[in-house]
Amino acid sequence: MGIWTEHICCQSLNPTVHQKITAHCIAAAGSRSLKKRVARIMEPVFRAKDANQVRTLFYLTAKMLEKCCPKAAKIWEDAEADALVYLDFPASHWKRLRTNNLQECTNHKIKRRTKVVQVFPSQKSLMRLVGAVLAEQDEI
């Protein structure tokens, strides 16, 4: 996937929307034991390798959530279109579209490099360092 493809994909969808939906469903569960159960129920949906399998698991998960936590089931069902938008892209792109690992890695590198310097003489020097980290990331 080239840089322009990634740029277009990022404009058309939020790559971490399923993580937010999952977090909201888990938060709606209430008790700690119920939160763990809800998380285990939702996990297989985003690990499936086929679009039809993902959709089938999504509906089965909704039914299972309805039994144990109706509030989480409502959030899950309302978010279907947003959670499954990554299925419109080729399967080889799915993992990149539904995770933000690259962004988190880049943020970690920037944080690490700025901690080494600690005090910047100006805002421009900070921007040059961040720009260098981003340029290095772009070359990879």
Would you list the domain boundaries of the chain? 3-98, 101-139
Residue 9 has pLDDT above 60, yes or no: no
What does the pLDDT read at residue 3? 41
- What is the mean predicted confidence (pLDDT) over 10-38? 74
What does the pLDDT read at residue 60? 94
Q: Are 64 and 41 in contact (CB under 8 A)?
A: yes
Q: What is the per-residue pLDDT across 73-129, written as a single tens digit (0 to 9) for each?
A: 999 899 888 888 888 888 887 777 766 677 778 888 888 888 888 888 888 888 888
Residue 16 has pLDDT above 80, yes or no: no
Residue 70 has pLDDT above 50, yes or no: yes
DSSP letters for 65-109: HHHH-HHHHHHHHHTHHHHTGGGGS-GGGHHHHH--HHHHHHHHH
Residue 6 has pLDDT above 50, yes or no: no
Sign of CA dihedral 127, 129, 133, 136: positive
Mean pLDDT score across all residues of the chain? 80
